[in-house]
Structure 1
Amino acid sequence: MVKRTTATSQAKRILIVDDHAIVRLGMRQLIAAEPDLSICCESETGEEALALALNAKPDLAIVDLSLGTMHGLELVRQLHQALPEMPVLVLSMHDEALFAERAVRAGARGYMTKKGAIEGLIPAVRHVLAGKIYASEAVSQQILAGLQRGTAVPEGPIGGLTDREIQVFELVGRGLSTAGIADRLGVSVKTIETYRSNIKTKLNLRDAAALVRYATSWIDRL
């Protein structure tokens, strides 16, 4: 955790949450170049981020989705419940088509991928701080098209998974065993076995090996 003082008394105070130090460094550098923005605190875990937010009351939180024990979507949901006036911008490596709408449903005010962060982070931050919802043009069009059809944004086969199932699926793709996932998420092995079974059923996968192959290939495409 790193705490920083604001650049001016009027600077908007930002909490950044990402489990990669190099990503946090990049965000610090981008935000430091803006005199009306500052980082008040940062965290690499969801649990610590929630405590920091409750204490520091930042003007904005920038949140990654892959945070270890607490998935970013759950952190967004808890931040929105605890501090409904504080906007949250999700900055993630994950596909917008799958996660942008989920993030907004959880309470986020914006979603962008890390691929466009260098050029797009500051405009997205200002957009969200102005009280608007930020999404890429492609995702905005998908959401509007879905509303016109009365359907959700198409998410592909993974879209049928719950948020928790997606978290387990991601960890399978990153090579964690059932016991390793249970330890990471703080639940029982039996619970993870149930999640894995549900995932296989929803994705029409025959066995554990097929699940691992599918999850690994999905991670490789991120």
Structure 2
Amino acid sequence: MAEKAPRRPPPMKRVLVVEPHPQVRAALADLVDDEPGCELVAAVTTIADALSLVSEVRPDVVLVDTDTPNWEPQQLGKRFGEILPEVLLVFLSAATEPHRECPESSTKTLSMLKTVAPDFLRSLSS
């Protein structure tokens, strides 16, 4: 009887965090670090920082706080999509009813409350 090849674990999801508030950025980075199926590739303060790094660190997922200053909601998905079309943009909000911020995005986008970010990260590796 032939032996089955060992099952490979799913590849790690590479995550980039964009969050202007230092304590929240650190907490999100810790959440990513603590999730076995995720790898933190960078945690930055601004969209400009994220865009300058995205082609180098090649994230699968970008967590973006909707409170991040100087971001253009209608252009953000397009700009990330031009650099890395397969990236998933996840907009995090403290609002009680988050909504899709980039309806014309060329990338996949999700919007969610910050409080469900841990569940979302766990879902990446399941």
TM-score range, shorter chain: 0.7 to 0.9
Is contact 2:74-2:103 (8 Å) kept?
A: no
CA drift of 1:31 comes to 1.8
Q: Residues 8-157 of structure 1: matches in 2 within 5 Å?
A: 10-94=11-95, 96=97, 100-106=99-105, 107-114=107-114, 117=115, 120-125=116-121, 127=123, 129=124
CA drift of 1:103 comes to 2.9
Amino acid at match of 2:120: A
Distance 1:93 1:49, change over 3 A: same
> Which structure has more RCO (C-alpha within 8 Å, separation ≥ 6)?
2
CA drift of 1:73 comes to 4.9
SS in 2 for 1:96: coil
Q: Any unmatched runs of 5+ in structure 2?
A: 1-10
Tell me what 2:6 maps to. Answer: none
Distance 1:102 1:70, change over 3 A: closer
Amino acid at match of 1:125: L
CA distance in 2, matches of 1:104, 1:112: 15
The two structures have a TM-score, normalised by structure 2, of 0.74
Amino acid at match of 1:124: F
Is contact 1:60-1:87 (8 Å) kept?
A: yes
Q: Give CA-to-partner distance per residue, 1:7-63, whole Å, 9 cap, x none.
A: xxx422100001111111111222222122121111111111111112111111111
Compute the RMSD of aligned alpha carbons: 2.7
Is contact 1:50-1:75 (8 Å) kept?
A: no
The two structures have a TM-score, normalised by structure 1, of 0.45
Which portions of structure 1, spanning 4 or more consecutive aligned residues, are displaced by more than 6 angstroms? none
Question: Which of the pair has more CA radius of gyration?
Answer: 1
Higher strand share: 2
Tell me what 1:217 maps to. Answer: none
Is contact 1:90-1:108 (8 Å) kept?
A: no
Is contact 2:17-2:25 (8 Å) kept?
A: yes
Is contact 1:15-1:60 (8 Å) kept?
A: yes
Q: Give CA-to-partner distance per residue, 1:132-160, whole Å, 9 cap, x none.
A: xxxxxxxxxxxxxxxxxxxxxxxxxxxxx
Amino acid at match of 1:23: V
Amino acid at match of 2:111: Y
CA drift of 1:108 comes to 4.3
- Percent of matched pairs sharing the same residue: 25
Q: Residues 171-210 of structure 1: matches in 2 within 5 Å?
A: none
Is contact 1:73-1:103 (8 Å) kept?
A: yes
Q: Any unmatched runs of 5+ in structure 1?
A: 1-9, 131-222
